[in-house]
């Protein structure tokens, strides 16, 4: 097999994909280039504006329904093919916040409703969530409980057939714009994970208030905020999964989320690598292109290894989960490795671009700002190491 004369073009060859996956990747890149490229991205990054039209275009392409079985109206993609689509979106869509919001919607609402919803809950919410008509969020984290998620303080007091929810949530992706949020709360009087339940709470429910979006460093086009639950009354139809089954709902979400949420980072890493190669070939210092300096070409080589390794690790985790049961270990390995690799690669990309990389015009600094949260959300790197150690019998 011959290699093209242009090493940058060669970088887009996904050697770890089979023919089906490679075609899916290419088709999705074409979709993103045609439908998701827009000039206002830099302004929206500054103002922190969510791109609703981009959300609708992704829904029309099927992104919000990727893994859901066909009998529930989904595209029935395997997890492997789901991560291929997300990888391609990370590569070709400039708006990392939009793709992050879609991820939060998929793993925080769509997948829990598909896996744990009653037929009535699926009828009411799943179709509109997949069609892009409703936006979903997920609220576990509280001001006093992050990594120690199950120590949450939000309470669900039984009242008649339903519950009264009281508490405060924070860092909930999509909360400022969400039509429904899956809220986790402890049933009053219980202890341990068995006492936690998940509730579908609709925007506008009396007692539910969503704050203004929190201002953050990266992923600025993905709104994130606080929720206050103050005597928020929900009926029995709001309980997602069995009463006391919230930990299972959360854990099944996390299995999908930890594997899939890093897939767009792989595409983003590849895009940044390609920019680095182009820059290293054209930027000249001391009479030659900077790519001729060994310390620069070594950075590019390390980036290439990081992209290929990350893609293989995500793909492997998805394949293990597709062939289930299990995959917890692979999901945490994937989350830990890819997020750390993405931060490292973007840090080096900025260095390679010198002062220009630090300027907003080059959009290298935005790439770094957008990936930095990945070692924190969906369980920090420290917690992934803890989980991996525990699953290895320590
Ligand atoms: C962009 C973004 C989006 C998010 N979206 C959502 C969302 O949609 N829904 C939601 O519920 N939450 C969301 N979160 C919250 C996220 O899940 C938490 O921030 C994360 O779990 C860490 O919790 P914390 O911020 O309270 O940090 P803490 O748990 O207070 O941790 C602080 C530091 O201590 C370390 N640490 C804590 N415990 C241990 C331990 N046992 N061993 C070693 N180190 C430890 C952590 O690794 C970290 O370095 C989001 C966060 C971000 C940044």
Whose CA is closest to atom 31 on ligand 1? 147
379 CA: nearest ligand 1 atom: 21
Beta carbon of 389 within 6 Å of any ligand 1 atom: no
DSSP 213: P
- For β-strands 284-285 and 196-202, DSSP reports them as unpaired
Beta strands in the chain (DSSP E): 136-139, 155-159, 162-173, 180-187, 196-202, 208-210, 224-234, 239-240, 284-285, 288-289
Residues 71 and 110 reside in one and the same domain: yes
Burial 273-303 (b: 16+ CB within 10 A, else e): bbbbbebbeeeeeeeeebbeeeebeebbeeb
Per-residue confidence (pLDDT) for residue 18, from 0 to 100:
78
Give the CATH number of the domain where residue 191 resides.
Answer: 2.40.110.10
Instruction: Find the radius of gyration of the CA atoms of the chain.
Output: 21
Window from 7-11, 187-191, 345-349 with minimum mean pLDDT: 7-11
Indicate the SS3 state at residue 331.
helix
Per-residue confidence (pLDDT) for residue 1, from 0 to 100:
34
Tens digit of each residue's pLDDT (9 = 90 or more) over 277-286: 999 999 999 9
Per-residue confidence (pLDDT) for residue 7, from 0 to 100:
46
Tens digit of each residue's pLDDT (9 = 90 or more) over 206-258: 999 998 899 999 999 999 999 999 999 999 999 999 999 999 999 999 999 99
Question: What is the residue range of 199's domain?
Answer: 137-244
pLDDT band of 39, cuts 50, 70, 90: confident
Residue 2 in domain: no
378 CA: nearest ligand 1 atom: 17
Nearest CA to 173 among 132, 207, 216, 133? 216
Beta carbon of 104 within 6 Å of any ligand 1 atom: yes
The more confidently predicted of residues 134 and 11 is 134
CB 48 within 8 A of CB 221: yes
* pTM of the complete model: 0.96
Residue 1 in domain: no
Last residue of a domain, one of 227, 244, 261: 244
Tens digit of each residue's pLDDT (9 = 90 or more) over 259-308: 999 999 999 999 999 999 999 999 999 999 999 999 999 999 999 999 99
Nearest CA to 96 among 253, 344, 335, 262? 262
The count of structural domains within the chain is: 3
| For residues 163-179, average pLDDT | 98
Last residue of a domain, one of 244, 259, 291: 244
pLDDT band of 362, cuts 50, 70, 90: confident
Per-residue confidence (pLDDT) for residue 259, from 0 to 100:
96
**How far is the C-alpha of 75 from the C-alpha of 5, rounded, in Å?**
38
């Amino acid at each position: 097999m011959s290699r093209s004369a242009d090493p940058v073009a060669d970088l887009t060859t996904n050697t770890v994909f089979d023919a089906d996956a490679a075609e899916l990747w290419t088709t999705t890149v074409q979709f993103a280039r045609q439908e998701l490229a827009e000039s206002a991205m830099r302004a929206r990054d500054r103002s922190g504006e969510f791109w609703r039209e981009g959300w609708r275009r992704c829904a029309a392409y099927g992104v919000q329904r990727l893994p859901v079985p066909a009998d529930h109206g989904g595209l029935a993609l395997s997890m492997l093919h789901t991560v291929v689509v997300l990888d391609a979106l990370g590569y070709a869509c400039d708006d990392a916040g939009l793709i992050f919001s879609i991820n939060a919607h998929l793993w925080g609402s769509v997948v829990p409703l598909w896996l744990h919803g009653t037929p009535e809950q699926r009828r009411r919410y799943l179709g509109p969530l997949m069609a892009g008509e409703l936006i979903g969020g997920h609220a576990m984290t509280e001001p006093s409980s992050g990594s120690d998620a199950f120590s949450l303080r939000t309470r669900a007091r039984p009242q008649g057939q339903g519950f009264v929810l009281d508490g405060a949530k924070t860092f909930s992706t999509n909360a400022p714009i969400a039509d429904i949020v899956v809220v986790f709360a402890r049933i009053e009087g219980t202890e341990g994970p068995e006492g936690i339940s998940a509730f579908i709470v609709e925007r506008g429910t009396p007692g539910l208030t969503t704050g203004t979006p929190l201002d953050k460093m990266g992923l600025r086009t993905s709104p994130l905020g606080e929720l206050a639950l103050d005597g928020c009354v929900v009926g029995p139809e709001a309980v997602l999964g069995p009463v006391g089954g919230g930990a299972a709902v959360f854990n099944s979400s996390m299995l999908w989320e930890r594997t899939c949420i890093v897939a767009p980072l792989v595409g983003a890493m590849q895009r940044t690598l390609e920019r680095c190669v182009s820059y290293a070939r054209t930027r000249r210092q001391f009479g030659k292109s900077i790519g001729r300096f060994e310390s620069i070409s070594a950075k590019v080589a390390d980036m290439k290894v990081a992209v290929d390794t990350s893609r293989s690790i995500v793909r492997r985790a998805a394949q293990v989960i597709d062939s289930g049961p299990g995959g917890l270990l692979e999901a945490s390995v994937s989350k830990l490795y890819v997020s750390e690799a993405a931060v490292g690669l973007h840090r080096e990309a900025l260095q390679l671009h010198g002062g220009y990389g630090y300027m907003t015009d080059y959009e290298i600094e935005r790439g770094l700002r957008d990936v930095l949260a990945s070692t924190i959300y969906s369980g920090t790197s420290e917690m992934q190491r803890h989980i991996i150690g525990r699953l290895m019998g320590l």
